[in-house]
Amino acid sequence: MIAALATLAFLTTLWLLVVVGAAVLEASGAKIAAALKGVPAHQPSLRVASVRVRMRARSRVMRAEPHWRAAA
């Protein structure tokens, strides 16, 4: 009788692991497949009409040195 209960407990635990593994795979399966293929998982689409696009420009001043001015 103990062997039957142990087998039942083992099979229940195994079933639970399969169910949890399937849930995890369903949630992140696309990311895993994309990583294995070497492509980005999510390629954002540009929606200019519905989303405000805001770009920060770096105000980096590049000053030309005298030897670069002479070469131009």
Mean pLDDT (10-residue bins), the chain, 72 residues: 95 96 87 83 55 59 63 60
Domain ranges of the chain: 1-43
Helices (H), 1-72: 2-37, 66-71
Instruction: Supply the DSSP symbol for 39.
Output: S
Residue 9: predicted pLDDT? 96
Q: For residues 34 and 40, is the Cβ–Cβ distance under 8 A? A: yes
Residue 25: predicted pLDDT? 87
Listed in sequence order, the residues at least 6 apart from 33 whose beta carbon sits closer than 8 Å to its beta carbon are none
Residue 4: predicted pLDDT? 94
Q: For residues 30 and 41, is the Cβ–Cβ distance under 8 A? A: yes
Residue 33: predicted pLDDT? 82
